[in-house]
Amino acid sequence: MSDPTNPNISKRSTEQWALYQRENFWKVNEGNWPPFNTDPRQLEQQAKEKLSQGGWFYASSNAGQSYTHLANRQAFFRHRIIPRQLVDTNLRDTTTEIFGHNVSAPIGFAPIGINKIYHNLAELPVAKVAGELNLPYCLSTAGSTPIEKVAAANGNGPRFFQLYMPHDDELTLSLLNRAWKSGFDALILTTDTWQLGWRHDDVAHSNYAFYRGIGADLGLSDPVFQKRCKEAGIDIEKDIVAASAKWIDSIWHGRAWSWEKIPWLIEQWKRISGGRPFAIKGIQSVADAKKCVDYGVDGIVVSNHAGRQVDGAIASLDALENIAEAVGDKIYIMYDSGVRGASDVVKALALGAKFVFVGRLWVWGLSVMGEEGVRHVMKSLLADLDILMGVAGFNSVKEFDRSIIESYPKSYSLIHERYGL
Ligand code: FNR
């Protein structure tokens, strides 16, 4: 199947991720069984069965009628990879560099808030597995574990902090300082979520854990936020619901920021971090991408938040194509939204992204089996990528450009139903 004594393995600069396939095929011989099926449709279904109703709704809800989510998935079908034959891929290399870190693959953990509703250990097992696999981990401001504890779990792994910026500069600075001191060495500001999109299932079930006093730990452990609670006469120990609500209402505050604030944030982050990278997540338009270049932003994440914010929006992958064409040589472009397998990663890279984040895939793994679940999902994705490169004739992730795909017109009406992922 996959010869573990293959002499090329020791010569590779990258781990032979492909051996994870063999490991799973071998399990029955040892009376074991692979943890679960990582086919995304089945994985999602297993997560649904495992989660509470609230956990499931929060993980699966999209904006409005889920049309943006559908578009995200459909866009991947429009591009097809052209395999090559008889290429010596024995020493292929999946690694890449992001913000000065050499990482195992151009794949990272997208920031996802409030992991507590998916698993009782919340962000900790996720950060741990990310560190172990040397894949960047991005912690959300809406995370349900103190920043410092997440850092400890992540160990020496590369890690970034995703900011939801409060309308309270002192609080923002406190978060940035905590993140920097804890080794989060790039800042990613999310700009598409001043407020959660209109998500029917969550609204219909009053599904908002923070208002039940669950998941605000990152904020409740902040000294400036603690001061704010005191000023407002809220005792965190006695009234967790009021404190948690106050926290999340200062994060998803429903009050937009505008471009004028960006120079201040860049200046503060650069001062605190000694010049480390600053990126904006949620960019979909070419005009905004150009503005990022003008404002001196180091990177952008072309993302529509997995289709959870604006219903009926363009596919994030289509946005990537437009943006990469316009500013691909001027700014570091990352991508997310709708990635469900290695071929999707390859397509996004081919269309101009330098790096790809995955969200729901690891949330489902966490939901199904905690730490082991996240590890299984991400090792499977790495193996999927390694094998794809091996069998399709690619030696380096740098080879993924427009020449390796064939793209078809945007005939999305061909796929008419909600693609259940
Ligand atoms: C998110 N996302 C998100 N983004 C962010 O900047 N901060 C956050 O706290 C969250 N929280 C969050 C929760 C859940 C349940 C989901 C599904 C998504 C968006 C996330 O970072 C990323 O953009 C998408 O999840 C990527 O799309 P896929 O891979 O999930 O399809």
Ligand 1 atom index nearest CA of 281 = 6
**Token representation of residue 238:** 């006695």
Q: How far apart are CA 80 and CA 286, in angstroms?
A: 24
**Token representation of residue 327:** 């500013």
Ligand 1 atom index nearest CA of 113 = 9
Does 305 qualify as catalytic in the annotation?
yes
* DSSP structural state of residue 236: T
Bridge partners of 332? Answer: 299
Pairing of strands 137-140, 405-407: unpaired
- Pick out the chain residues at pLDDT < 70: 1, 412-421
Taking the centre of ligand 1 as the mean of its atom positions, its distance from the CA of residue 30, in whole angstroms, is 38
Taking the centre of ligand 1 as the mean of its atom positions, its distance from the CA of residue 111, in whole angstroms, is 6
Greatest alpha-carbon span in the chain: 71
Pairing of strands 159-163, 137-140: parallel
Residue 2 has a pLDDT of 86
Q: Atom 23, ligand 1: which residue's CA is nearest?
A: 305
Taking the centre of ligand 1 as the mean of its atom positions, its distance from the CA of residue 412, in whole angstroms, is 24
Ligand 1 atom index nearest CA of 143 = 9
Q: Atom 19, ligand 1: which residue's CA is nearest?
A: 305
- Type of residue numbered 88: D
Nearest to 13 by CA among 396, 401, 400, 398: 396
Tens digits of per-residue pLDDT, 305-337? 999 999 999 999 999 999 999 999 999 999 999
Residue 411 has a pLDDT of 77
What are the start-end ranges of the H helices in 255-359? Answer: 262-273, 286-294, 316-327, 342-350
Other CB atoms within 10 Å distance of the CB of residue 267: 12
Among candidate residues 79, 119, 305, 376, the one labeled active-site is 305
Q: Atom 2, ligand 1: which residue's CA is nearest?
A: 112
CA distances (Å), origin 256, targets 194, 198, 227, 388:
6, 16, 24, 42
Q: How far apart are CA 265 and CA 15, in angstroms?
A: 38
Tens digits of per-residue pLDDT, 21-35? 999 999 999 999 999
Taking the centre of ligand 1 as the mean of its atom positions, its distance from the CA of residue 13, in whole angstroms, is 31
Residue 309 has a pLDDT of 98
Taking the centre of ligand 1 as the mean of its atom positions, its distance from the CA of residue 361, in whole angstroms, is 10
pTM greater than the 0.85 cutoff: yes
Domains in the chain (CATH in brackets) are: 9-407 (3.20.20.70)
Q: Atom 26, ligand 1: which residue's CA is nearest?
A: 337
Burial degree of 58 (CB within 10 A; 0-12, 13-18, 19+)? buried
H or E element, residue 159 = strand 159-163
CA distances (Å), origin 380, targets 94, 243, 356, 374:
14, 40, 16, 10
Do the beta carbons of residue 81 and residue 346 sit within 8 Å?
A: yes
Q: At what angle do helices 147-154 and 123-133 cross, to 10 degrees?
A: 30
Q: Atom 18, ligand 1: which residue's CA is nearest?
A: 112
Phi-psi region of 102 (alpha: psi -120 to 50; beta: other; left: phi over 0): beta
Residue 1 has a pLDDT of 67
Ligand 1 atom index nearest CA of 58 = 15
